[in-house]
Amino acid sequence: MTEKQLIEGCKNGERLAQKELYETYSRKMMGVCLRYVSDRETARDLLQDGFVKVFTSMDSYSGLGSFEGWMRKIFVNCALEYLRRSDVLREAADLDNTAELVHPDSSVISDMSASELMKLVQELPAGFRAVFNLFAIEGYSHKEISEMMNITESTSRSQFTRAKQLLQRKINELY
Per cent of the chain over pLDDT 70 is: 86
CATH topology identical between 3-86 and 89-174: no
pTM higher than 0.85, yes or no? Answer: no
**Element of type H or E holding 140:** none
Residue 150's pLDDT is: 86
Domain ranges of the chain: 3-86, 89-174
Contacts of 121 (CB under 8 A, 6+ apart): 35, 129, 132, 133, 167
User: Which ranges of the chain would DSSP assign to H, the alpha helix?
Assistant: 3-11, 15-36, 40-56, 67-86, 106-111, 114-122, 126-132, 142-149, 153-174
For the beta carbon of residue 85, count every other beta carbon within 10 angstroms.
8
**pLDDT tens profile 44-103:** 999 999 999 999 999 999 888 899 999 999 999 999 999 888 876 565 444 444 444 445
Domain 3-86 has CATH 1.10.1740.10: yes
CATH number of 89-174: 1.10.10.10
